[in-house]
Structure 1
Amino acid sequence: MALALPFPTAPLSRVQSFAGSVGYGFLVSAVIAIAAQFLSDHYGAPAMLMALLLGIAFHFLAEEGRCAPGIAFTSRTVLRAGVALLGARISVDLLIGLGPRLISLVVAGVVLTILFGLIGAKFLGRGWRFALLTGGAVAICGASAAMAIAAVLPRHDRSEQNLIFTVLGVTVLSTIAMIAYPLITATLGLDAQATGVFLGGTIHDVAQVVGAGFSVGQETGETATLVKLIRVTMLAPVVLVFSLSIRAFGPSDGASEGKRPPLIPGFVLAFLALAGANSAGLVPVAAQAVLGDMSRWALLISIAAVGMKTSLKTIFEVGGQATLLIVAETIFLAIFILAGLAWFA
C-alpha cells in the first residue's frame, strides 16, 4: 500500500520542473560572472565589461539547447531582482548630506542629459527607445540603469542589440573617464569637494566613480561616492516616469505592443520599498552589505546572460550614429556639471 505524503507534491514538482528548465542557463551565467569577477580582482578590468565580453563568446548556448530557457530567464528576471536590491543602498540621509544646490545640480544633470539624448537621437535618426536607453544609462548609473530601463521599454527586434551596445558603450566610456577625469579636475584646479562632485556626477558606473574618487584623495572619494548614490536614487523615479509614459502613449513607431506593461513595475516597487525601509532605519548595516552584494552579483550574472543572448555581429550593426550619440551624451553631462560647479563657486 502506497504511503500518502504529508504535503502536496504538485507544487514541489512544479518547482523542480522550473528549476530544471532554467537551472542550466542560470548556472552557466553564474560561472561566467565568477570568471569575470576573478579577472576584475586580479587584473583590474571592469567586472561588468568582462562578464559582457565573456558572455558574447558563449552566444551559441543561447540559440538552442538546455541552456537557452535559463539564459532568457536570467537576463530578464534576475536582472530585475538585482535592480530592486539596489534600493537597500539608498536613504534620505544621502540627500540631506549634500545640500539643496548640489542636489539640484545632480538632478538637473540627469533630466537634461535624458532630454539631450532624445533631441540628439531625433537629429541622428535614432528611435526614442534607444534615446531613453542611452540617455538614462549615461545620466544615472551606467549598465545598471540601462538594464532597468530596458526592462520597461516595449520590446522590438533590436531590443537586445541596443541593450548590449549601451552596456558596452557606457562601461568603456566609464573606464576612460575614470582615468581622464581626475586629470581634467587637476588641470582646472578644482578643490577636493568640487572634484568629488564632478566625478560622482559624471562617471557612469559606481565602481569607476569609487576608483577615480579615492585615487585623488579620501575626501574626494567620499564625496564622489555620495553624489553617485544620489544619481542612483534617481533610477526608480526615472524608470517609473518612463513606464507610465509608455503605458499612457504606447509605442509610436509601429512596433508590437504585446502585453500592456503594469502601471508600476514590480521591481520598481521593490526598489522603493527597500529604499524606504533603509531611510527609516529598518535595514541593519550588515543587511545593507549583504543586499548590496546580492544586487551586484545578480546584475553581474544577468549581464553575462544578456551577453550570451547577443552575437558580436549585431553590436557592429548598431552603427556610428549610436556611438556618436552616447559619446555626445557623456560630454554634455560633463560640461553641464562643470558649468554648474563654476556657477556655484
Structure 2
Amino acid sequence: MPFSRPNAPHTIHGLLFVALFSLAAFQISAWPPVAALRLSPLIVGIVLGMFYANTLRGHLPATWVPGIQFSAKTLLRLAVVLYGFRITFQQIAQVGAPGLIASTFMLATTFLIGAFVGVRLLRMDRDTSLLTASGSSVCGAAAVLATEATLDAKPYKSAVAVGTVVLFGTLSMFLYPVLFRSGLLHLDPAAYGLYVGATVHEVAQVVGAGSAVGQAATDSAVIVKMTRVMLLVPLLLLLGLAVRSRGKVSVPWFAVYFVGVAAFNSLHWLPGAWVHEINVLDTFLLTMAMTALGMETGIEKFRQAGVKPLLLAGAMYVWLLGGGYLLVRWLAGRFAI
C-alpha cells in the first residue's frame, strides 16, 4: 500500500517530486513563446516527465516510484471527477440540436473508425488503438487519461496516444483559420465555431483555432467542445461494459462521479471564484498525472510503437477534417445556422 506506515514517507517524496515538475510545467506553459503555441501545462508536463524518464531516472531513489504511480493512477481519477466543474447542463442545452448532433456523431464515428483501423487494419494492440481513438474523438489528453484509467492500460501507451493529439491538434490551430480566411469553407463564424468545436482535439486548441477568427467563433466552438467532453462519460461507461476482467464488468465509477459533479455545478451553488480555483486545482492534478505518465515512458516505448499510431491518428484526422466539414455544411443548411 502506498500510504502504509513504512511506505508513506517515500510515497510523499514521489508525490512532491511530481508536483515540483508540474509547477515547472505551469511556469513554462505561461512563457510567451510556449503560450503562443497554446500548449497546456498537461502537454508541457508530459514532455518534462519524459525528459526525466530518459535522462535522470536511474539517479533518483526507486522508493519514490510509488508516489509517481499514485499520481498517474489515483490522482488521475480525482482530476477526472473534478473536471465536471468545467461543465453545466445549461451549456449543453445552449448548443441546441446542431451542436448535439455534431458532437455525438463525430465522437461516435471517429472512435469507431479509430478502433477498427487500429485493431483490424493496422494490427495494433487494443489499448493503444482505443487510447488514440479517444484522444482524437473526445477531448485530447484528458480523454486519453480517463480512458487509460478505464482500460487499466500501460502508461507508455497513453504517452504515445497523447503525442498524436499534440501533433494533429497543433496542426488544427493553424490549418482551420487558414481554411476559413481562404474562403474554401463557405462557413460563417458561428458555423465555423461548430466545425472547430466538433472536430479539434484539445480545449486549448479549440480556443486557439476559434480565437483566430473572432469571439463569436470562439464562443460557439468552446460550448460545442464542452458538449463533446460531457459525452466522454457514456463512452467510458460503454468501454467499461465492453472490457471485461475475469468475467466481471468494469464500470469506471469516477465517470459517474464526473456527471454528479457536473450536475452539482449546474445548480450554481458555489461562487464563480470558487469554481475557478477548483478548475485551477484540477488542471494542476491533471498536469501531475500527465507528468507522472511521462516519467513512466522511456523513448524505447515510442520506438516499439513505430509509425502505426501516427497512421491511425492521421486516418482519424482526415475524417475529422472531411467528414466533420460535410456534416457541418449539412447542419448549417438544415438548421439555418
What is the TM-score normalised by the length of structure 1?
0.87
Deviation at 1:274, TM superposition (A): 0.2
8 Å CA contact retained: 2:164, 2:309? no
Instruction: Pick one of 11, 15, 19 that aligns with 1:26.
Output: 15
Could you report, residue by residue, the CA deviation over 1:121-179 in whole angstroms, capped at 9, with x for unpaired residues?
A: 11111133222211111011000000000111144xxx222111001210222112111
Instruction: Pick one of 143, 146, 158 that aligns with 1:163.
Output: 158
1:241 is aligned to: 238
The code of the aligned residue for 1:169 comes to: T
2:25 is aligned to: 36
The code of the aligned residue for 1:303 comes to: M
Q: Secondary structure at the match of 1:310?
A: coil
Could you report, residue by residue, the CA deviation over 1:211-252 in whole angstroms, capped at 9, with x for unpaired residues?
A: 2211211111111111111111111111111012113xx5xx
**Structure 1 Cα separation of the partners of residues 292 and 249 of structure 2:** 23
Q: Secondary structure at the match of 2:305?
A: coil
1:61 is aligned to: 57
Deviation at 1:283, TM superposition (A): 3.8
Q: Is 1:174 the equivalent of 2:169?
A: yes
Deviation at 1:76, TM superposition (A): 0.8
8 Å CA contact retained: 1:88, 1:288? yes
Counterparts of 1:65-214 in structure 2, within 5 Å, are 65-121=62-118, 122-155=120-153, 159-187=154-182, 188=184, 189-214=186-211
The alignment of Structure 1 onto Structure 2 pairs a total of residues equal to 319
> What RMSD over aligned residues (CA atoms) do the two structures have, in Å?
2.0
**Structure 2 Cα separation of the partners of residues 126 and 95 of structure 1:** 35
**Structure 2 Cα separation of the partners of residues 230 and 223 of structure 1:** 11
**Structure 1 Cα separation of the partners of residues 295 and 323 of structure 2:** 36
2:44 is aligned to: 50
Instruction: Pick one of 314, 328, 331 that aligns with 2:301.
Output: 314
**Structure 2 Cα separation of the partners of residues 22 and 32 of structure 1:** 16
Structure 1 residues 16 and 222: CA distance shift in structure 2, 3 A: farther
Deviation at 1:68, TM superposition (A): 0.9
**Gaps in structure 1 of 5+ consecutive residues:** 1-13, 251-256
The code of the aligned residue for 1:118 comes to: A
Q: Secondary structure at the match of 2:139?
A: coil
**Structure 1 Cα separation of the partners of residues 129 and 266 of structure 2:** 32
The code of the aligned residue for 2:139 comes to: C
Could you report, residue by residue, the CA deviation over 1:61-107 in whole angstroms, capped at 9, with x for unpaired residues?
A: 38852321111111111111111111111221112111113311211
1:4 is aligned to: none
**Structure 1 Cα separation of the partners of residues 240 and 270 of structure 2:** 28
8 Å CA contact retained: 1:52, 1:303? yes
What is the TM-score normalised by the length of structure 2?
0.89
8 Å CA contact retained: 2:156, 2:293? no
**Structure 2 Cα separation of the partners of residues 266 and 119 of structure 1:** 26
8 Å CA contact retained: 2:88, 2:263? yes
1:332 is aligned to: 319
8 Å CA contact retained: 2:151, 2:243? yes
The code of the aligned residue for 1:239 comes to: L
Deviation at 1:15, TM superposition (A): 7.0
**Gaps in structure 2 of 5+ consecutive residues:** none
The higher radius of gyration belongs to 1
Q: Secondary structure at the match of 2:201?
A: coil
Identical pairs, percent: 28
8 Å CA contact retained: 2:129, 2:309? no
The code of the aligned residue for 2:254 comes to: F
Deviation at 1:185, TM superposition (A): 2.2
2:224 is aligned to: 227
Structure 1 residues 266 and 284: CA distance shift in structure 2, 3 A: farther
8 Å CA contact retained: 1:149, 1:239? yes
Worse-matched range after superposition: 281-290 or 200-209: 281-290
**Structure 2 Cα separation of the partners of residues 15 and 126 of structure 1:** 38
Could you report, residue by residue, the CA deviation over 1:191-216 in whole angstroms, capped at 9, with x for unpaired residues?
A: 11011111111111111111221121
**Structure 2 Cα separation of the partners of residues 184 and 70 of structure 1:** 46
